[in-house]
Structure 1
Amino acid sequence: MQNTFPLWKNLLILIIFMVGLVYALPNLYGDDPSVQVSSTRETKVEQAQADLVESAIKAAGFGVKSFEFKEGRVLVRFNNTDDQLKAADLLRDKLGSDYTVALNLAPVTPEWLQSLGAKAMYLGLDLRGGVHFLLEVDMDAAVKQAEERYNEDVRLALRSAKIHYHSVSKDNGYIKVKLKSADEKPALLSLLGKDFRTLDLTEPAAQDEVWLKLSEAEIREIKKFAVAQNMTTLRNRVNELGVAEPVIQQQGQDRIVVQLPGVQDTARAKEILGTTATLEYRLVDVEHDVQKAVRGQVPVASRLYYDKNGSPILLDRRVIVTGDQIVDASSGMDQDGQPMVSITLNGVGATKMGKITQANIGRPMAVVFIEYKVNTKVINGQKVFHKEKVEKVISVATIRDAFSKRFQTTGLDSPEEARNLALLLRAGALAAPVDIVEERTVGPSLGQDNINKGVTSATVGFVLVLAFMAVYYRLFGVVANIALAFNVVILVAILSMLQATLTLPGIAGIVLTVGMSVDANVLIFERIREEIRNGNSPQSSIFLGYEKAFATIFDSNLTTLLTAIMLFVFGSGSVKGFAVTLSIGILTSMFTATVGSRMIINWIYGNRRVEKLSI
């Protein structure tokens, strides 16, 4: 009997190993502490700004590895984190708020690997260092904001339906509608049943009054939406920090966990996460003189704003819709080839927009961005945070036709501005304020210490296993060691291709995988020994050893795989990291132990007469 694989199977195994080796390589190169300078929505990074960044850093004498300027971004690599932090502070002072200066860890992967799409695994907070925030969503504020919206919506609906009312007011969670005459009540009830079915209705003793209140189901939806919207908003804001693979997940009913691996500037992270922003659509006041408003003569029904170029613009005091009524936004080109943003509103917002635009065709409408920035000042050596309200008009477009649920915003300067505006409309507004209730910082040195200890533990375990296998199973043990190295390479390659986040529990999963892989080889080799003791020939023993041990290996690995899947489904955070590496490791170990090692054994023993096996 000869033990051989067909040529195609040998080539397939070798190709898998070579591909795995290529995609595992980026993890050997590491990262450079870097500072990234990118544009805000209103400005772009040009060559002049890139030259300014380079000259400022060179003048300060920081240890710089390289300057890179491409795709409208400047990336400066440094020799150490101290120079990185000092340079970031210097550039923020030099460039001001027109540009985003973010700390980053830039990979040192060679270009030929990058061209193949090969990237290193992301490192989690415990390995890379960074900051951990626990944010609490102000649910009461979310409900109050909803009550304010419904209060305005009811008032507008009454006017549109020509139902005469004395007052619409909020009182202790109720929206109280007082009519001018009890005769108007049937019309009011009909309107409420049609447009405000989510509100609970109460009829007090007074015949000319109706009280409305948010239903329990509506309150639950509002709170659920507030958390979901805030998570989306925070995820997009984190992009400003240049963070790779942040962790943003819900904890409980009203809390959000935010982990930012690699972030060393905690103050900057707080400024980004703590900012509260919203959007408003308002009609432009074309009847009054904006210059008089600038001089202080602002009409009662209007408000004075400024656009992104600093020019004054007079807007209607009445708000049409706000950002939290936008359910979707996407950028593109209109029929004339001009950049535009396509917007979708929810039901209430669509109704309001339809009625307003129907009555104001030909009139310009503006988008107002309102932001509460958290700025940092150093007072008596201490960092102090204070909120600053910023309001500006980011877009003005003429209403060409009546529209409601879906419409387009035009008048934008570039496709890039359209993309940024769409992003802002989709997730630029926090649905409710958030408070940072817990903050933890993992320093880069501690993260590096975790990496060193994790690598040391994996290396020591790996070497001990290699030594045991080589001594106890001789040549077959050496083959098992080669298959084991093959297994680790493929495992790391798959994790890198999936861009998984490696954590300390993930390293534990890799170490356990090493043991699982060797366990499979031990089962095979002991079975081969047993067949030899039963009097079978060496070639038959090899064949029977691999064939008969497979069922046991498959059974034991399947049960472990099912356990790992359950850990991933029901676990969270670090448990998921352990489950991911263990699950992938089980599959790769089965492949390398039953196929990879057998290919090598076939090369050694398969095509010759064998009297004795080195096992």
Structure 2
Amino acid sequence: MRKNRFKIILILAAIALSLYYLYPTYQSSEYQKKLAQLSGQAKFDSYLKTHPIPPLTDSARAFYIDSLRQYFSADSLKYYDENANKIVDAKLKRIKLGLDLQGGMHVVLEVNVIKMLQDMAKNKDQTFNEIMQQVSAQAKATDADPLDLLQQQFEQRGIRLSRYYGDIRDDNAKVMSYLRDQTKSAVDRAMEIVRNRVDQYGVSEPSIQKQGNSRIVVELPGVSNESEVRQLLQGTALLEFKLLKPTDVVVKVFQAIDNVLAGKVDTSSATQDTTSSDTTMTAEQFARKHPFFAVVRVNPQTGDAYVAENDRDKLERMLLRPDVQRVIPSDFQFLYSAKPQIVAQGAKYYELFVVKKDPELTGSVVTNAQAQIDPTTNSPIVTMQMNSEGSREWARVTGANIGKRIAIVLDNAVYSAPVVRSKITGGNSQIEGMGSVEEANLLAIVLRAGA
């Protein structure tokens, strides 16, 4: 009898534990069903026919459409706002379903190594073209590594690889090592671009893995729009250098936005320290009085702004409101840091940057970037080289903005925002402030990705 009682208790405990972990998944599903019911696909389609989408950047346009799809009706907006914390909490705690249970998309991307080898060649004569044709045909027929096939073709013909790659004095082993390094670097760049775009797309629990020497496997649970995913993953990476707006100007705009959201009449008056003056209020009272600053945490000493991962959607909805748009200068652009900062209890915060919308330069002028260790400080740095056109423009930009920050932006995500110390001539720049070698390597990859 005692044995049976123990078994029953064990079974009941297992059932209770299962229900505990399954309940958030059930909750999340019910919330999404309710939102879909309140919005309605038919109503959404009808709305788009009579309300053209305003001119926005690609990322803002995608978010605008997604926001309309769920929140355009007053009922669904009210329901979401009343249950926002519960919806987010349930979504975070729900069981992560894989492609087999949830459905989604499985995508295999491949770096075009043969094209890369053709572009890298310093001399393209008839012999080289014949070799590349053979390599391309064999690679398609056998799925073999193009680099191995290239080496075989050169050795069979008794031709040194240095005739087309590297220094003329390099032996075949050294040239092959160089080509493999370049291939790995190309795949790393592609991985970072894909990861950044998937993060911005908002897919829950994506899987991005390298397969072999040149393939990237991407799994996107819950995603079914094939054309959107293809456009997301196949577009050319855009690297831009953008000036940050002055902190005092940004804080005034933040205050104006907060006033509009709080329903205050005077949107021009700015308080000096909103957070410190309201420390006695509860979080709920503060959110009602300062809805913007309840989402955007501003450091009063530095002016740096941060947004919790769970509040990014809320901030985007705020910024898309027509009354808020009216108090934001037309040359302002809001961008997030590419990577979050993880604070107490694992909470993730993204830095919010306000930059000049038009870039000073694009990645087309960058010729190379490498992570190194500064011999004088033993700190990680990134060295960046530009072509002659970029060097001239970079000298003008840095000379006119000493003491200001320039954001390094890849696909609308900020990877670094260093301070300009002096006018930079000759096209060779040194970027400091990385916390680790890994961070420096990532920035170098980003700079090369947009080149």
TM-score calculated relative to the size of structure 1: 0.31
TM-score calculated relative to the size of structure 2: 0.40
Q: Which has the higher strand share?
A: 1
More contact order relative to length (CA 8 Å, sep ≥ 6): 1
